[in-house]
Structure 1
Amino acid sequence: MLAVARRATLRPTPGSVPVTLWAGVLDMAANVLYLLAAQRGMLSLVAVLVSLYPASTLLLARYVLGERLSALQIAGVGFALGAVALIAAS
């Protein structure tokens, strides 16, 4: 709606097409894998692992964009991974 109001084009730039296609393929693969895991695995563990997607965003921002993580963000990722390990061990 905002693009229409600003009369901006929604057409991707030529350099962004491969990234857009890969994002779509990976998103589709993630959805399929989630459905398979929910059907065949422990739903309690699958739901916790799926909830960790913000941690992957932080890590990608660190390694792709070179952003620095704050101490609080690093602690949050560490605690989340520790929680997953404890849930998997139970």
Structure 2
Amino acid sequence: MTNSTEIKNLSLYHYQSCPFCEMTRDAINELDIDIELRDIHLHSEHFEELIREGGKPQVPCLRIEQEDGKTHWLYESQHIIQLLGEYVNLVKNAA
């Protein structure tokens, strides 16, 4: 059993049948990181939050809560996957 890296300040807005969401979830699994998954089809409050705070109903979307209290919303699966890969590399290099 491996210990996945938990990232508390990130949440992925997605839904199961979205192919770009699936690609992003697959990358999360391959990187062995634990991110809160917020399914917008199963929980209407996640969909409402995505539109209200993120500004559009596009998924996948990564919500990034920064240390200064600001929230950044990252769209596009390739950008999300790239950011997560860079984060994992930083964590590994810091260890």
Instruction: Choose 1 or 2 for highest CA Rg.
Output: 1
Which structure has more relative contact order (CA 8 Å, sep 6+)? It is 2
Name the structure where strand makes up a greater proportion of residues: 2
TM-score normalised by structure 2 residue count: 0.28
TM-score normalised by structure 1 residue count: 0.29
